Structure 1
Amino acid sequence: MTETKTHTLDAAGAEITYDVRDAADGGPAGDPVLLLVGSPMDAAGFATLGSYFTDRTVVTYDPRGVGRSPRTDGAPENTVEEHADDLRRVIEALGTGPVDVFASSGGAVNALALVAGHGDLVRTLVAHEPPSARVLADHEVVLAVCADIHATYLREGTGPAMVKFFSVVSRKGPFPADWADEPLASPAEFGLPTEDDGKRDDPLLGLNMRTCTGYLPDFDALRAAPTRIVVAAGKESEGEFPARAAAEIAASLGTGLSVFPSHHGGFLGGEYGREGAPEEFARALRAALRTGE
């Protein structure tokens, strides 16, 4: 593997840090840069997945408000449009022409917004489990749940809010109307802090929870874009909120849903203490980038 070079660029209200690892031996002719995008996950989460693409130049970055990309304006929440503009700036700074993008979770929502506005910058987008609640039949309930997580974080801190978040990501199927009456575990049962540290800058619970899930993709713009769009979900994620949203987005685009190995973090190889099936996932991603299937 070649040396990774780190760069920074100024964006509206943030300083964005991104990493470029050139392909070993130059890579095959004609392959564009591969941009790996998460949110709120930072570049470190793609260490394992990137290791399966040494034949291509791989770019990762820390989204605004995460890791090495601090917000400079003190805004309490990020918007999807801001994230999309950050991605535009990174791609244009590369100066290589259109790139391929693998984007997961909130990163997939942001990448869909990027393609809707600047499809000329992306050859192929693989959008993996974008948690866009507004495409779901039960969207009003899901958005209320996400708003409650955000409000709980602002009111009580990380521990109680994360307990509610865990209940969301583990649920299979639509959310019931009486979700607020369901019993919850204590933060201690998950090894979470029981005391409020007073901080309110968590990128998941504070900066992105409401804006990411509340974004509705511009389907007309996506269908008109020159980008080939592959929408994917993990085999083990069936019935979960982000996978359900992925299926609805794929149906709206008329592309069909691509099923990838493992779960929501199927590309992880131990990052953040979570294991997926990264080798199998990388094979599926390579095939999707090559054929769109």
Structure 2
Amino acid sequence: MTTPTTGSLRVPGSTLHYEVRGRGPLLLLIPGGTGGAAAFDGVADDLAAEYTVATYDPRGIHRSPLDDAEAGQRVSEHADDALRLLDRLSPGEPARVFGTSSGAIAALHLLTARPERVARLVAHEPPVVEVLPDAAEHRALLARVQETLRTQGLMPAMAAFAAGLTKGGETADPQAEPESAPKAEPSAGPGTERLLLPPQAAARAEQTMADLPYFVGRIVPRFMAYTPDTDRLAALSDRLVLACGQDSRGELPYRPAAFLAERLGKELHHFPGGHTGLTTHPAAFGEALRKAFHA
């Protein structure tokens, strides 16, 4: 794996850690969840054969600390962080952008707010559930997760969230996590499992667990309450690619992208794996992403 060049960027309320590899036009990769820049380790080197690939830890995640650890989070603020990275790394040219999950929500806002800075956006499973006809059910899921977090703690809240995502947002018992529920990557498992991992993976597991309360408590409720400007997206649809995991059908993260693709008259691209295909199928996922930018 190529050692990237690292840098830091001061933004209002945080200092972002970012990494750069390769040469060519800029490709900014925006992670979802608690993944940070490391989420793209499996694809960045291959993409760097064609692009200058920039990855980063979003504000509040890992090496991008918040000035105020209790600060509320807004999609527009995260999108502005991405814009500031584009301005630093590609000031004279619009860039290609990829976002996954919550990172795809920030990327959609970036496209609608500053379209002149985005040459093409690939948005993978942005959970913008407010566009769906049954949005009220998903608001109830989010409220249930936050109440579970407040009264029972992190892991029961994660179980309720995972079950709701798998079932499309249906009511789920937070104490019972079905076998089909999306799991955190193995590095985020119980401490006894992490002891069996290589040191680098174990360290990443510890960081994932450390970032989960912030993600579940402050990113999830604000990002999944976000409503994209669909009229603006329609006007910019020539530079938007909507993508889903081929194994995600029937799950909540799949539905908003599929709904938007139909509404905008766009082809829905299918990437290998499910919502976490970037982690489970990195080589095939990276190749699908490369093709999406050439489609």
Shorter-chain TM range is: 0.7 to 0.9
Q: How many residues align?
A: 265
**TM-score after normalising by structure 1:** 0.83
SS of the residue aligned with 2:133? coil
CA distance in 2, matches of 1:185, 1:175: 15
| Distance in 2 of aligned mates of 1:169 and 1:231 | 19
Aligned to 2:287: 283
Aligned alpha-carbon RMSD (Å): 2.4
Counterpart pick for 1:34 among 27, 39, 43: 27
Counterpart among 255, 270, 273 of residue 244 in structure 1: 255
Q: Deviating runs (4+, > 4 A) in structure 1?
A: 190-193
What percent identity do the matched residue pairs reach? 38
- Counterpart-to-counterpart distance in 2, 1:5 and 1:110: 24
SS of 1:124's equivalent?
A: strand
Is residue 234 of structure 1 aligned with residue 245 of structure 2?
yes
2:83 pairs with 1:113 = no
TM-score normalised to structure 2 length: 0.82
- How far apart in 2 are the matches of 1:256 and 1:104? 18
Distance (whole Å) between structure 2 residues aligned to residue 202 and residue 121 of structure 1: 32
Amino acid at match of 2:283: E
Equivalent residue for 1:43?
Answer: 37
Deviations 1:185-208 (A, max 9, x none): 279xx9669xxxxx9972321121
The CA deviation at 1:6 is 1.4
2-side partners of 1:192 and 1:153: how far apart?
Answer: 18
Question: Using the alignment, how far apart are the partners of 1:186 and 1:113 within structure 2?
Answer: 33
Where 1:59 maps in the other structure, the secondary structure is strand
CA distance in 2, matches of 1:58, 1:103: 13
Distance apart, 1:238 and its partner CA: 0.4
- The code of the aligned residue for 2:36 comes to D
Bigger drift between 223-232 and 162-171 goes to 223-232
Superposition pairs of residues 61-76 of structure 1, within 5 angstroms: 61-76=56-71
The within-5 A match list for 1:1-293 is: 3-23=3-23, 31-40=24-33, 41-55=35-49, 56-96=51-91, 97-171=93-167, 174-176=168-170, 179=171, 182=173, 184-185=175-176, 202-225=213-236, 228-268=239-279, 276-291=280-295
The aligned amino acid for 1:244 is R
Cα deviation for residue 254 of structure 1 reads: 2.1
| 2:163 and 2:177 in contact (8 A); partners too | no
The 3 A distance-change label for structure 1 pair 155 and 36 is same
Where do 5+ consecutive residues of structure 2 fail to align?
A: 184-188, 192-209
The gaps in structure 1 that reach 5 residues or longer are 24-30, 194-198, 269-275
- What does the per-residue CA deviation read over 1:119-172, in whole Å, with 9 as the maximum and x for residues that have no partner? 11111100000011101122111111112212322333212111112212322x
Gap change, CA 1:52 and 1:222, over 3 Å in 2 = same
Summarize deviations over 1:17-76 as a string: whole Å, max 9, x none.
Answer: 1111123xxxxxxx5211111123211111001122131211001011101111113344
Distance 1:32 1:166, change over 3 A: same
Q: Specify whether residues 186 and 76 from structure 1 end up closer, same or farther in structure 2 by C-alpha distance, changes over 3 A only.
A: farther
Contact 2:21 2:44 in 1 (8 A): no
